[in-house]
Amino acid sequence: MTTALHERAAGRTTAAGARRTGRRRRGRPVVLFLAPFLVPFAALYLAPIGYTVYQSLFRMHRSGLGLTAPTQVFTGLSNYATALGDPDFRSSLLRVLLIGAVQVPLMLLLALGLALLLDARSTLFKRFFRLAFFLPYALPGVVGAIMWSYLVAPGLSPITAAAHHLGLHLDLTSNAMLAPTIGNMLTWGWTGYNMLIIHSALQAIPAELSEAATMDGCSAFGIAWRIKVPLVRPALVLTTVFSIIGTAQLYNEPAILHNVAPNLSSTYTPIYAAYDAVNANNFNAAATESVILALLAFVLSFGFLKLVQRRGAAL
């Protein structure tokens, strides 16, 4: 490979001979400089993906008496049929789809709204608000999740206590409330991050555009809706894709909520289910579920991108 790089580098050189030897010498640095990244990258990104796909095609076979060590048997796609036939895993997939379908739009609308308000010229205390909204992102996700788990835990929760004062019975860890509670944890933790990305895009819009629109009698709301929102479309698409991927990998919040809500099942989300399979020493099932989840995340985020691209072309 080194020689190929040499030849190529040398071949491209059109300058004088002295320069050419200089270039020739430079083929090796490229390989040496990239290797410290590419070798671990291949070992820690590509290899686990390949290994997981491979594992998902096998199953441990134990002999009848269990006297000999279990052997790996190739089973084709049968693990996939098992996983997709498992009602627990299926409902974990449905659950993240549902949480994502409700929470992601709500969060992004909130982030967009806050970003637009912060971007308006007459808004006061911008620095303070930007910091306040972004603070949850600066907190480790685990700390945020522990905090919220106590904020909703029966006995500790000030929210439940306040509802009780008003004569309402509210249990934020009941089965019906688990999904909204997790949705709230995600919204709290990630709105500020998304707002900052959208706000940065808003700041890149030339001020003359809004000024011209104001001259033409456009209201502040009209400017926001007709000029600013279309211009920050790329930022909105990006935050949507990030949020879809983020929801697919949902694990910390439900796992930590489980410590105060034992009714939350240990297969609540797909990653949770894969973790559960790892704990049960069923590596092949864990591998299969990981591959299914990765494919789902890819299809959804890529599908969304294609959808907006097509619509963008139609407009």
Tell me which long-range contacts 204-207 makes (C-beta under 8 A, separation of at least 24).
205/231, 205/232
Q: Which of residues 4-63 bind other proteins (CB under 8 A)?
A: 4-5, 8-9, 12, 22, 25-27, 29-30, 32-34, 36-38, 40-41, 44-45, 47-49, 51-52, 55
Kindly provide the b/e burial profile for residues 238-275, where b requires at least 16 CB atoms within 10 angstroms of the residue's own CB: bbbbbbbebbbebbbbbbbbbebbeebbebbbbbbbbb
Q: At closest approach, how far in Å is the CB of 290 from other proteins?
A: 5
CA pair distance 204, 80, nearest whole angstrom: 47
Structure tokens at 60: 């441990």
Tell me which long-range contacts 225-230 makes (C-beta under 8 A, separation of at least 24).
228/116, 228/119, 228/202, 229/112, 229/116
- The residue within the footprint of other proteins, chosen from 89, 133, 190, 268 (CB under 8 A), is 133
Q: Which stretch binds other proteins (CB under 8 A): 85-93, 95-103, 210-218, 241-249?
A: 241-249
- The residue within the footprint of other proteins, chosen from 89, 148, 190, 268 (CB under 8 A), is 148
In the chain, what is the straight-line distance between the N-terminal and C-terminal CA atoms, in Å? 47
Q: At closest approach, how far in Å is the CB of 81 from other proteins?
A: 20
Pick the closer one to other proteins by CB: 89 or 283: 283
Q: Which of residues 94-113 bind other proteins (CB under 8 A)?
A: 110
- The residue within the footprint of other proteins, chosen from 83, 108, 172, 287 (CB under 8 A), is 287
- 292 contacts other proteins (rule: CB under 8 A): no
Q: Which helix (H) or strand (E) holds 297?
A: helix 283-314
Tell me if 187 sits within 8 A of 107, measured CB to CB.
yes
Q: Which stretch binds other proteins (CB under 8 A): 82-90, 98-106, 222-230, 288-296?
A: 288-296
Cα 202 to the center of its chain, rounded Å: 23
- 304 contacts other proteins (rule: CB under 8 A): no
Tell me if 239 sits within 8 A of 291, measured CB to CB.
no
- The residue within the footprint of other proteins, chosen from 79, 92, 181, 252 (CB under 8 A), is 252
| Stretch 187-226: interaction string toward other proteins, x if CB under 8 A | -x--xxx--xx--xx------------------x------
